[in-house]
Amino acid sequence: MAKRGVLLALEGIDGCGKSTQAELLAAALKERGLEVVLTHEPTDSSLGRLIREYFQGSERYLIPKEELNLFMANRREHVAEVIDPALAEGKIVISDRYYYSSVAYQGALGLDPDRILAQNEVMAVRPDLAVILTLPVAQALARLSATPQRPRQVSDDPAYLERVAAIYAGQQEGPDLRHLDASGPPPEVHAALLSLILEFLETAGER
């Protein structure tokens, strides 16, 4: 029977560099001979595409609970179709966003972050390690504005993102959750993230 794999989640506000760091991390781990599955939320399913289209629309017309329900439904698909099978095969799964995004983004709309976390931990596999990339909102928005190919989203509001960032900052560090400064250049952040992950995997017996 194959040893269970490891689930790593990268989190943070839009513009913090999650997608870039997820790709760099996956490549670095593969170079070390590890089997890696790189995935993301929202997913590429029809439901995931619907969520992306909604956030790229002209207005945020769903109530917070409806948004949360959409993300949780997509997450159920994600776990069943991608994450659980890869973990069962002993692979390392890197998810660009996972349920801490719901905690922060829907929590910033007024829902209870602790309740969102509890709901997700019941229905979705817990990450072995979640890393929250931290970056001042002003710097994140500056990065987004310098990325012309990225469509504007209805969530790109400075005051809203400050609330999102505050909820992320309030997540307590522990063996399965770390905060990492993402304000430096991508190679510098990658080096710090890779060091953190390799140390974690060594401790977990995956290296």
pLDDT reported for residue 71: 96
Bridging pattern class, strands 92-96 and 6-11: parallel
Band of pLDDT at residue 154, cut at 50, 70 and 90: low
Is the pLDDT confidence value at 24 over 50? Answer: yes
More confident call, 141 vs 25? 25
Is the pLDDT confidence value at 128 over 50? Answer: yes
pLDDT reported for residue 1: 47
Between the CA of residue 191 and those of 65, 151, 182, 197, what are the distances in Å? 38, 29, 11, 10
pLDDT reported for residue 21: 98
Is the pLDDT confidence value at 145 over 90? Answer: no
Output the pTM of the full model: 0.93
Between the CA of residue 189 and those of 16, 30, 99, 180, what are the distances in Å? 10, 18, 22, 8
Residue 54 corresponds to which tokens in the numbers above?
A: 């909604």
Closest CA to 124 of 81, 82, 86, 76: 76
Is the pLDDT confidence value at 149 over 70? Answer: no
pLDDT reported for residue 204: 81
Cβ contacts of 130 within 8 Å, gap of 6 or more: 8, 9, 10, 11, 98, 100, 176, 177, 178
Is the pLDDT confidence value at 207 over 50? Answer: no
Q: What percent of the chain has pLDDT over 90?
A: 83
Q: How high does pLDDT run on average in the chain?
A: 93
